[in-house]
A = this chain, B = another copy of it.
Amino acid sequence: MSQIIAIQSVSLDGFSAGANQDLEHPLGVGGPDLFSWFFPTETFQRMHGEGGGSRGIDDAFAQRSFVDVGAWIMGRNMFGPVRGDWPDESWRGWWGDNPPYHVPVFVLTHHPRPPLAMAGGTTFHFVTAGAEDALRHAQQAAAGKRIRIGGGAATIRQYLPRIDELHLALSPVLLGAGEPLFAGLNVRQLGFTVAESAVGENATHFILRRTQLK
């Protein structure tokens, strides 16, 4: 069985995306502030074909979330802004021709669409049979490597009872509104404890691990 991991940036007031996501605001209004720790890192810069970038603690945490990942699962809203039926196959993700995944990516959607193979080894598979089915596919594809739940918040919340390790990157900002990560969930009852914490240059990092409850 693969280990299931996720990483979410959260604001001080508990949001992991801003309100009113759309084509101009894929992270919602104010959402990019959540990622101001991530953008300057070498890991992010390299993912987007750029050189340079910081190599401190924030980068170390960004980097480890990509190590040994054999499959991704993401919600449809992370894949793109299209809602409802796919009008055509022109939307190919936010990431250009060579997305930064390089493994199979299972996209949760209610609307079927053929698999989409991109440059660099990323293939988007559109799963209409639900979260458990996506997880089965991801387990097969990952072949023992880690499965990363990509987001957004609703997808993380859905998989939380199955996630083994959740990395929270707390950004020192207030969003006021948006998608709350934990609201209404009892993460302690789900078995999570804070296993590790570290202060980065622009965020504070917490590794939450889920252990089986007695």
The answer to whether the Cβ of A193 comes within 8 Å of any Cβ in the partner chain is yes
Q: Which residue of B lies closest to A19 (CB)?
A: B186
* B197 and A172 contacting across the interface, CB-CB below 8 Å: yes
- Determine the chain B residues whose CB is within 8 A of the CB of A172 once the complex forms: 194, 197, 206
Query: 1/0 per position for A164-184, CB-CB distance to B under 8 A?
Result: 000010101111110010110
Q: Cβ of A204 < 8 Å from any Cβ of B?
A: yes
Tally chain A residues at the interface, Cβ within 8 Å.
29
A12 near B: Cβ within 8 Å? yes
Q: How far is the CA of A209 from the CA of B59 in the complex (A)?
A: 29
Indicate whether A189 reaches chain B with its CB closer than 8 angstroms: yes
A14 partner residues in chain B, CB cutoff 8 A? 13-14, 182-183
A30 within 8 A of B: yes
Task: Indicate which residue in B174, B180, B185, B190 contacts A193 across the interface (CB closer than 8 Å).
Answer: B174
Would you call A214 an interface residue if the criterion is a C-beta within 8 Å of the partner chain's C-beta atoms? Answer: no
Contact between B188 and A30 (Cβ–Cβ < 8 Å)?
yes
B189 near A176: Cβ-Cβ < 8 Å: yes
Contact with B along A123-166 (1 / 0, CB 8 A): 00000000000000000000000000000000000000000000
Question: Contact: B170 with A170, CB < 8 Å?
Answer: yes
Given A12-B168, A170-B170, A204-B204, does the pair A176, B187 have CB atoms closer than 8 Å? yes
Q: Which of B30, B175, B187 contacts A13 (CB 8 A)?
A: B187
- Does A73 count as interface, using CB distance less than 8 angstroms? no
Name the distance in Å between A94's Cβ and chain B's nearest Cβ.
25
| Seed contacts A170-B204, A176-B187, A177-B189; 5 additional CB < 8 Å A-B pairs | A13-B182, A172-B194, A174-B194, A199-B199, A204-B204
List the 4 closest A-B pairs by CB distance, nearest first. A176-B188, A176-B186, A13-B182, A14-B14
